[in-house]
Structure 1
Amino acid sequence: MSVTLSSPLPPSATTFYPLDLYHFYTDFLGSIQQRYREHGNVFRWYALSKFTVLLGAEANQWALVTQQKSLSAAKAWQQLIGQLFQGGLMLRDGADHRQQRRLLMPAFRQEALQYYLTSSEALIGQHIQQWPARCPNIYTRVKELTLEIAVQSFFGISHPKELQVYNRLITDVVAGSIAFNRLPVVGRVYQRAVQARRDLVKLLKPLVGERRRHPTQDMMGQLCQSVDEEGRQLSDDEIVDQLIFIMMAAHDTTASTLSSIFYELAMHPEWQLRVRDEARRALPWPVAQRPDQLPLTLMVIRETLRRHTPLKVLPRVTLEDLEFQGFALPKGSHISVFPSFTHYMDEYWTRPQDFDPLRFSEERAEHKKHPFCYAPFGGGMHSCLGQFFAEKFLSVILGKITLKCSWRVPDIDRVRFQQIPIQVPRSSLPVHLYSS
């Protein structure tokens, strides 16, 4: 909708910039909730930068679907991660984005995902076997696991020495993507990430040529053989760019969710028992062929994603003058929607502060009260391509973990999570593991 001259700008919710920035990082959800109570579901805020906040399921639908052609994801993400993940799907818009997405789709079809799941099962078991009974930080362990699985499934790399090199480079790139200081010399984490990306490109380019000559079932092999209806293929550079981006998106968000699951099931051990009993009923494993036999496990995963959405904010830039709920959003405005906030709104959820996986049961189906009240994977043309794989993979790994062990988190009341730019334990998440 075009802006009329009478349309006012949203109210400003900025108080004192340094304090707002501090609260944005230390109590993200609390900061948003306070401003929602004071200003409603549309307001301007100056935290990390100047942007307009749009809250609620209607706002999610408006930004992610209704006005998706008038809003740019690429312009919004470019200034945040553009140098490290240039060419990635999230940094593309319009026809270019649609074409790239079509060419990526074969790597996310059922048969391809089944291969990734099946090839990962042995690796999952090996990692769990090596976890110490007193694990000082389970997040580092699941991060190592998800990274190794991603390198194997996406690049087809399994040799220990090669894995070590790729793991180090990818870890450096991901660390740079969340680094606050990006200045030369003093911003060493970010500069190391830029160099790590260059090194990754040098390693991956020859592999792409090899996969074109000798097709494989890993993701790189799938992308090398992908052809759209017009006969177009991804170039070598495009394949490398997309793989580096997908690696970051898949590995980091999965590790975040797994650590949150450990936390929630330590808080609610009765759900550990229910997930373990369900996994036992699904025996004999491997269960990658049959993850749909784990409905309670899937409810646990979805409830964890509701309460601990890895990516809290979805930014966009307006490509033309727009209006939302009577407020003007001039061309070039930076806006953000917050599905993570919607996941705690009383309008859609019964006691949203509670951990209650059964809210996702067919009988209650609270996530269906509005098409966008539950949106941990985004929505519209920029929705996550790996949603199906993420849920199936998490079901398999959680089933395997609960079959192997139970756990508790000592001093669990002291555990805190960093929420921006991605949710991770703030200091550590110590876990005590016990044989099941």
Structure 2
Amino acid sequence: MTRPPKPAARPDKVSLRRYVRLFRQDILSAQPARLYRAWMAEFRTPFFRSYLVNQPDLVKTVLKDRPDAFPKSNRISEGLRPLLGNSVFLTNGESWKRQRRIIDPAFEGGRLKDTFPAMWQAAEATVARLSSKTDRPVEIEAETSHAAADVIFRTLFSIPIDHEIAAQVFTRFRDYQRSAPILNIAAFVPLPKWLPRFHSRRTRSAARDIRALITRLTTERQDQIRQGTAPQDLATKIMTTRDPQTGEGFDTDEMVDQVAIFFLAGHETSASALAWTLYLVATHPDWQENLAQEAQALDDGPDFSVMSRLRLSRDTFREALRLYPPVPMMVRETTCPERFRDRDITPGAQIVLSPWHLHRHERLWEAPDDFDPERWQTENGKTCLRDAWIPFSAGPRVCTGAGFAMVEGPLILSMILRHFRVEAVGEAPVPVAHLTVRSRDGIHLRLTRR
């Protein structure tokens, strides 16, 4: 079985200065090999201490058992603040709980079924767009970004990606992605609140433009809601939901914050996962043919029940999320003294939960670096799915759109493989971490019609 590419491991011991430089350039390549077999590791800086935690019961403690004791670290959020403001992705405590009380109902119950026709339309549009790009190399990350953005705009605002404002948001977001480092200097050095955060001019400009465009969409929708002409999509659902405890909803600025994270989380992460999935099936042709055969179920039309017949596609997408989790690391901060693995951890320490390491951990997974979608039917796979697979985080802060993504990804994958064979061309892609796990030089595939 062909092993998918992974970043070259760095030496186990590097100077702090070199580690910080590598960390800022690419988190993944900075990681030493020993972390893929360690239960916990300590990282010291002159200003704070970080602990990478891979032991499943400790991960469970942080994410599920006592999440309020381990809020999200502001060190990481500083880099995303220009675009995301005070969105649900960055807030903690009562502010976060209030936001989730308003947002969660939009993704509950039958909402996935309600959004399925829009997802189907976006998948069909993707196939139509790719039809003009067959028999030559295609940079597939650009195509999956386009597809995922189309899904977000169709399900959130009932507009396709070629809508004037949607197209502008998509274009400016690409500029933002290229200019925004995954970590700001505040991740390493404690800065007073009054001191500027040193975001580049390009990053600030792109974020400002994106938020202005989202504000236009939001205010237009507010007018439609008042006039009774608003479509019943996710934006309308969220904007008309009231906090059951206070009776208040989101104002315009708050809604812009939330739409920004929906676009980032729902577009950037899905695009990353789908691109890596297509690369993996391109390098495993036997598995690809099984998926294409299963995808014939789509011929029956856009009925949500078809998702129950795409089991192989679901497991393949799940395996891609294991090998290439879009968000490679999550950082929490201790608020009280802790004791992990006989180590005393003081308040203010950073607890790093790393899907990138946990999903490839040598002491948890069988053949952790292999692409094997069938692992999910084994006892080891079922155990690890429960204890060591966290691409969407876990516990109360699990991604609201996790179920959404697990429909969107397998559907678009199946739709593409129903119409095209995919073949990898050029050098093997090297995964690096920007806003999400992407390829350093793109992922190049050749599509041929079936």
Task: Give TM-score, length-normalised by structure 1.
Answer: 0.88
Cα distance change of structure 1 residues 325 and 109 upon mapping to structure 2, 3 Å threshold: same
Cα distance change of structure 1 residues 236 and 137 upon mapping to structure 2, 3 Å threshold: same
More deviation, 369-378/290-299: 369-378
User: What's 1:423 paired with?
Assistant: 437
Structure 1 stretches of 5 or more lacking a match?
1-12
Cα distance change of structure 1 residues 309 and 185 upon mapping to structure 2, 3 Å threshold: closer
Cα deviation for residue 15 of structure 1 reads: 3.2
Residue pairs, 1:99-178, within 5 angstroms: 99-131=98-130, 132-133=133-134, 134-158=136-160, 160-178=163-181
User: What's 1:6 paired with?
Assistant: none
Q: Residues of 2 paired with 1:185 and 1:55: CA distance?
A: 32
Cα distance change of structure 1 residues 30 and 184 upon mapping to structure 2, 3 Å threshold: closer
User: What's 2:192 paired with?
Assistant: none
User: What's 2:425 paired with?
Assistant: 410
Amino acid corresponding to residue 380 of structure 1 in structure 2: G
Residue pairs, 1:262-411, within 5 angstroms: 262-361=278-377, 363-364=378-379, 366-369=381-384, 371-411=386-426
Q: Residues of 1 paired with 2:302 and 2:397: CA distance?
A: 33
**SS of residue paired to 2:255:** helix
Return structure 1 stretches of 4+ with deviation > 6 angstroms.
Answer: 179-186
Q: Deviations over 1:220-244 (max 9, x none)?
A: 1111221343333233322221111
Cα distance change of structure 1 residues 17 and 77 upon mapping to structure 2, 3 Å threshold: closer
Q: Deviations over 1:308-333 (max 9, x none)?
A: 11111010112222221221221112
Amino acid corresponding to residue 294 of structure 1 in structure 2: L
**SS of residue paired to 1:91:** coil
Identical-pair percentage: 20
Kindly indicate whether the alpha-carbon contact (under 8 Å) linking 1:127 and 1:145 is maintained by their aligned counterparts in 2: yes
Cα distance change of structure 1 residues 375 and 367 upon mapping to structure 2, 3 Å threshold: farther
Q: Residues of 1 paired with 2:46 and 2:61: CA distance?
A: 23
1:243 equivalent to 2:259? Answer: yes
User: What's 1:52 paired with?
Assistant: 51
Kindly indicate whether the alpha-carbon contact (under 8 Å) linking 1:343 and 1:352 is maintained by their aligned counterparts in 2: yes
More deviation, 283-292/235-244: 283-292
Task: Give TM-score, length-normalised by structure 2.
Answer: 0.85
Amino acid corresponding to residue 137 of structure 1 in structure 2: E
1:28 equivalent to 2:44? Answer: no
How many residues are paired up? 421
Q: Residues of 2 paired with 1:79 and 1:130: CA distance?
A: 37
Structure 2 stretches of 5 or more lacking a match?
1-11, 186-195
Cα deviation for residue 40 of structure 1 reads: 5.5
**SS of residue paired to 2:406:** helix
Kindly indicate whether the alpha-carbon contact (under 8 Å) linking 1:319 and 1:331 is maintained by their aligned counterparts in 2: yes
User: What's 2:188 paired with?
Assistant: none
Cα deviation for residue 296 of structure 1 reads: 1.0
Cα distance change of structure 1 residues 136 and 401 upon mapping to structure 2, 3 Å threshold: closer
Cα distance change of structure 1 residues 292 and 49 upon mapping to structure 2, 3 Å threshold: farther
Q: Residues of 1 paired with 2:240 and 2:149: CA distance?
A: 24
Cα distance change of structure 1 residues 226 and 47 upon mapping to structure 2, 3 Å threshold: farther
Cα deviation for residue 409 of structure 1 reads: 0.8
Residue pairs, 1:58-97, within 5 angstroms: 58-73=57-72, 75-97=74-96
Amino acid corresponding to residue 401 of structure 1 in structure 2: I
Kindly indicate whether the alpha-carbon contact (under 8 Å) linking 1:407 and 1:432 is maintained by their aligned counterparts in 2: yes
Kindly indicate whether the alpha-carbon contact (under 8 Å) linking 1:74 and 1:90 is maintained by their aligned counterparts in 2: no
Q: Deviations over 1:52-90 (max 9, x none)?
A: 222232232122123311111153443231232112112
